[in-house]
Amino acid sequence: MSTKDKASNTAQDVKGKVKETVGSAVGNKDLESKGKLDQVKSELKDAGENIKDAAEHVKDAIKGA
C-alpha cells in the first residue's frame, strides 16, 4: 500500500470518527451514521489494498521460483 493511500484511508477514518462523535454528542443520528459509514469505507479500502499487496507478493514469489 502506498503511503498516499494509507494517509488517505487514515484521514477518512479519522474524519468518520469525528463525525460519529459529534453526531452522538449533539443527537444527530444522520451525522453519526455518516461517520460510521466513512469508517467502514476506510476499512474496506485498507482491506483492498492489503489484498493487492498480497497478490503482488504471490506474483513475485512465482516469478522467483
What SS3 string covers the chain?
CCHHHHHHHHHHHHHHHHHHHHHHHHCCHHHHHHHHHHHHHHHHHHHHHHHHHHHHHHHHHHHHC
pLDDT of residue 2: 80
Over 70: is that where the pLDDT of 59 sits?
A: yes
Average pLDDT across the chain, whole number = 94
User: pLDDT tens digits, residue range 29-39?
Assistant: 999 999 999 99
pLDDT of residue 11: 96
pLDDT of residue 3: 87
pLDDT of residue 65: 64
Q: How far apart are CA 53 and CA 11, in angstroms?
A: 20
Domains of the chain by residue range: 3-64
| pTM, to two decimals | 0.82
